[in-house]
Structure 1
Amino acid sequence: MSSSLLQPSLVSQKVEIVTYNVFWRVPNDLFQLSAEDYLNDQTCLTVILHEEDHTIGNSVKHIMCQMEGVEFCGYNIPHPLEDKILLRVQTKEGYNAATILLEALDHLAASFRKISEKFESSYAKFQPK
């Protein structure tokens, strides 16, 4: 196995793409279900992530559930034939749901970078000379 196959981590790249899509992409094809609701109450956020599945959904949910200020987080796939997930986060008063989601995505990207680094160093140690 070539170490070039391992860099950069595909999952880490995917997390960065999701982060970009959630926060910087034009909201026509990817945004929370109701922007007006979020502007009125920034403790609740639901986003649609197109071309995503359980890999990102469950990973982000797991991290958000452990974060301070999170009352509820979850995701679902509306239909098995639809290539999207709905990701929902609800925070306690004084916590911004979008900030929590962004922090969770940052934590996830950092975790995968660390895993990739450890794998690379361990793999290098066992290479035949």
Structure 2
Amino acid sequence: RTYGDGTDLTIVTFGNGVRMSLRVARRLEKSHIAARVVDMRWLAPLPVHDILREANATGRVLVVDETRTSGGVSEGVVAALVDDGFTGPLARVTSDDSFIPLGDAALEVLLSEDTIEAAAVKLVSR
């Protein structure tokens, strides 16, 4: 499912990343960055055709992955985009490689709306 029809940036995500990315998309509007958010809805198999269509609509992709940098879902998304010929600017924001601690300590390693927003602004300004 795609939320919005922004032409500056495609944010591809799933799970908790959808809600965070939708809030970030609203924040980005204040900086005149129009983003669309793609909820992959399932991860196996990846909805590659849908991801590629939405990636090509903006020419820029930020993959928001609440799992870890190494071995996370975003690795498969990036590989699928590259394999299918996407050549635009591409970045991902993930949680850190670590054991996930409990309580407030988890906030030190998990991605946040602030890290998503910073990555989006950096990608669009390329």
TM-score, length-scaled by structure 2:
0.33
TM-score, length-scaled by structure 1:
0.32
Structure with greater helix percent: 1
Question: Which of structures 1 and 2 has the bigger CA Rg?
Answer: 1
